[in-house]
Amino acid sequence: MTINVTRSSLPAFEEYCEEIKELWDSRWLTNNGVKHKAFSAMLKAYLDTPCLTLFANGHLALENILEAMKLPEGGEVITTPFTFASTTHAIVRSGLKPVFCDINDRDYTIDVTQLESLITPETAAILPVHVYGNLCDTDAIASIARRHGLKVIYDAAHAFGVRRGGVSAACFGDASMFSFHATKVFHTVEGGAVCYADSRLEQPLNDIKNFGIHGPEDVLYVGGNAKMNELQAAMGICNLRHIDDEIKKRGEADRRYRERLAGVRGIKLCEPQPGVQPNYAYFPVVFDGYRFARDEVAELLKKHDIAARKYFYPLTNSFACYSGTEGFEPNSTPVAADIAQKMLTLPLFADLSIQTVDRICDIILK
C-alpha cells in the first residue's frame, strides 16, 4: 500500500454518526444551522480569536477577505511565490496585482529584509504565508505595515494550532485565513475560516459568502456562495475534540525523523522556531549536496511506494497560466527558486508509525 505524504485524520465512525444524527431529524443541512454555530464557537475558543467566519474552503475564505477589505482595484499585494496556487490565484481573481518577495533560507517564509523595498504608492496590502507550520516574522511585518498604512492578511493554511509566545497564529495581522482541507493538520473534509479582530468585517464577510442576502426579501450585496454546510461543521466538531492528541502523534514522528536525518551531510532540516508551539504540519527536507538530488530521492522513495512531495514546486510566479504576465518571473526570487528545486516533504501524519519513519529514512540513507 502506498504511503502518502499525508493522511486524513478521522474521528471514530460512530462518533461522527452520533454528531450528525440530529440532522436527519431537522433536515437543516446548510445556512448557519446548529452544527455551524456550535463549531464556530468551539473554534473561536480554541484559536483565541475575537471574530471568526467559516467558509466552504480556504480558497474562498481568502478571496472573500480580500474583497471584504475593500482594497483598491488593481492595487498591489506583496506576497511570496513559495506557496500553494491558491494564494496567488486569490489575489489575481480579486482584481489585484501580486508583487513577489523572496523567502529566507531558514524557515522559508517571506524575507522581511526585502519587504519594504517592494512597497510603492500602489501597494494595498501584504499577504505573507506561514509555511509548513513555520510562522512569519510577524513583529517585523506589523512594524512595516504600520509605517506604510497597509493591511496584513496572513495565509495561515499551514498554521492551525501554532502559537508564538502563547499567542495564536489566528491573532496576527488584520486577518488570517485557515484551510480545513482534508490534507491539513485539522480538517472538515473541505472548509476554511477567516479570523480577525475588527468586528465590522463580520457583516461584509457574511454578505459575500451568501449572495448578499440579508433577509427573505432583502439582497443588499452582490455576493457569491461560500457557505460551510452542516456535515462539514460536524466533522470539524469531532476532529477538534482530538486535535491536541493528533498534533502530539505528529510530533513523535517528527522527532524520529530528526533523530535519523539530523547532521547528515547534504540534508538540511528546518530548525524549530524559538518560542513557537508547532503543529508538525509537514516535514520539509532540503537536499543540497547530498549524494542524491531531490528528484532522485523522490523517485527512489516512489519505487518503494512512498509518495513524498515536491512542495512547493513549481513556484507560483512560474505557472504556465501567468506566462508573459508582468511581474511573474522566478528569477526575481532566487532563494525561493533554489529551494523549490531542492525541497521534498516527507510523509507525516498522526498515524505514521515510528517503524515506517525508520523505513523511509533507511531508504534515503542506505
Annotated domain spans of the chain = 13-101+110-238, 243-365
**pLDDT(166) > 90:** yes
Strand partners, 129: 155
The per-residue DSSP string of 298-326 comes to HHHHHHTTB--B-TT-S-GGG-GGGTT-T
The 10s digit of each residue's pLDDT in 44-91 is 999 999 999 999 999 999 999 999 999 999 999 999 999 999 999 999
Confidence of residue 1 (pLDDT cuts 50, 70, 90): confident
Give the burial class of 5: count Cβ atoms within 10 A of its Cβ; 0-12 exposed, 13-18 middle, 19 or more buried: buried
**pLDDT(304) > 90:** yes
Confidence of residue 216 (pLDDT cuts 50, 70, 90): confident
The 10s digit of each residue's pLDDT in 334-355 is 999 999 999 999 999 999 999 9
Phi, psi of 155, rounded to the nearest 5 degrees: -85, 100
Percent of the chain's residues with pLDDT above 70 = 100
pLDDT, mean over the chain: 97
**pLDDT(105) > 90:** yes
Confidence of residue 155 (pLDDT cuts 50, 70, 90): very high
C-alpha cell at 65: 477577505
The rounded distance, in Å, linking the Cα atoms of 184 and 125 is 26
**pLDDT(151) > 90:** yes
Residue 30 near residue 227 (C-beta atoms within 8 A)? yes
- The pLDDT score that the predictor gives to residue 214 is 86
C-alpha cell at 360: 523511509
DSSP-based three-state secondary structure for 57: coil
Is the four-CA dihedral 43, 48, 54, 60 of positive or negative sign?
Answer: negative
**10 Å Cβ neighbour count for 337?**
21
DSSP-based three-state secondary structure for 34: helix
**10 Å Cβ neighbour count for 64?**
27
| CATH, domain 13-101+110-238, list 3.90.1150.10, 3.40.640.10, 3.40.190.10, 3.40.190.80 | 3.40.640.10
The rounded distance, in Å, linking the Cα atoms of 106 and 135 is 11
The rounded distance, in Å, linking the Cα atoms of 203 and 194 is 13
Percent of the chain's residues with pLDDT above 90 = 99
The CATH homologous superfamily to which domain 243-365 belongs is Aspartate Aminotransferase, domain 1 (3.90.1150.10)
C-alpha cell at 30: 446548510
What are the b/e assignments for 257-266, b being 16+ CB within 10 Å?
beebbeeeee
Higher pLDDT, 284 or 1: 284
One fold for 13-101+110-238 and 243-365: no
Give the burial class of 291: count Cβ atoms within 10 A of its Cβ; 0-12 exposed, 13-18 middle, 19 or more buried: exposed
Q: Nearest-CA neighbor of 80 among 302, 339, 359, 342?
A: 339
